[in-house]
Amino acid sequence: MAKKLTNTSTQKILASAKTLFWKHGIKRVSVEEICAEAGISKMTFYRNFKNKKELVIALLTIIQEQGMSDYNKIMQRSIPFSDKVQAIVLLKHQASQDLSPEFMKEVYQSDDSDLQMLIASYSEKSKAQIRKDFTIAQEEGWIRKDLKMDSIFYLLGVIQEKLFDPTYLALHENPHDAIMELTNFFFYGVLSQSKLEGEN
C-alpha cells in the first residue's frame, strides 16, 4: 500500500478524510462525503482503497508514523531537555487541534480488532521510546531522581485514561483543551525544579 499512497488522488482522499474524521468522527462520514470533499469520483476512491476501513488504517498509520518521526527529530536536537519538552507540547497542540470527541472515542475505544492492534502497537513503540529518553533525562538531572520510572509510566497510563472520562472531559470545551492540560500536567510535573532554575 505504501507505494500507491504517493499518487495525487490518494493524497486528496487522505487529506479530505482527515478533515472530515477530525470534525465528525469516522462512523458519521460516508465514502460519498469523502469523495465530494476530495473532488474525486467513487470509482477513483475504490481504485485506491477497498473500503473506508482500509482508508482509516492507512490514515492512522501515516499519522502515527509522522508523529513518531517528529518526536524523534525533537529528541535528537542539541538543546536542553526542557526545550525539547516545550517542542513536544507544541507538537501535541498542533496534532490535537480540531479533534472531535467522536473521533477520539471511535479510534481509541474501538471494538475493531485491526484498529485495536494498530493503536496498541504504536502506543507500545511510543512508550518504549519515551521511557528510553526519560531515563537518559533523569540520569542527566532533568527529571527528579526520587521518581521511579515505573511510577511515571503508570501515571502516564492513568492520565491517558482521563481522556475518556466524561467527568473530566466535561470540564473542558473540547478534546484539544483536555489533551493539552493533561500533556502539560504530565511533562511539567516531572521536571526537576532545581535544574530548571539553574537554566534561568
- Position 1 scores a pLDDT of 43
The stretch 42-60 carries a mean pLDDT of 95
User: 24 is written with which cell numbers?
Assistant: 465528525
Tell me the C-alpha distance between 29 and 31, whole Å.
Answer: 7
Residue 78 lies in a domain: yes
Domain count, the chain: 1
Cβ pair 130, 72 in contact under 8 A? no
- Give pLDDT, residue 5: 62
- Report the distance separating Cα 198 and Cα 141, nearest Å: 11
In a domain, 149, yes or no: yes
In a domain, 103, yes or no: yes
> 3-class SS at 172?
coil
Is residue 38 over pLDDT 60?
Answer: yes
Q: What's the domain range around 110?
A: 60-199
154 in a structural domain? yes
Check: CB of residue 10 under 8 Å from CB of residue 48: yes
- Answer whether residue 55 is part of any domain: no
Q: What is the pTM of this model?
A: 0.82
Strand partners, 191: 143
Residue 105: which CATH number? 1.10.357
Residues 117, 121: Cα–Cα separation, whole Å = 6
Average of per-residue pLDDT across 79-103: 89
Contact 107, 51 (CB under 8 A): no
CA 91 from chain center: how many Å?
9
DSSP 8-state symbol, 26: S
For residue 76, CA distances in Å to 13, 87, 95, 101, 135 come to 33, 12, 20, 33, 15
Say if 47 falls within a structural domain.
no
- Asked whether residue 182 carries a pLDDT value surpassing 50, the answer given is yes
pLDDT at 195: 60
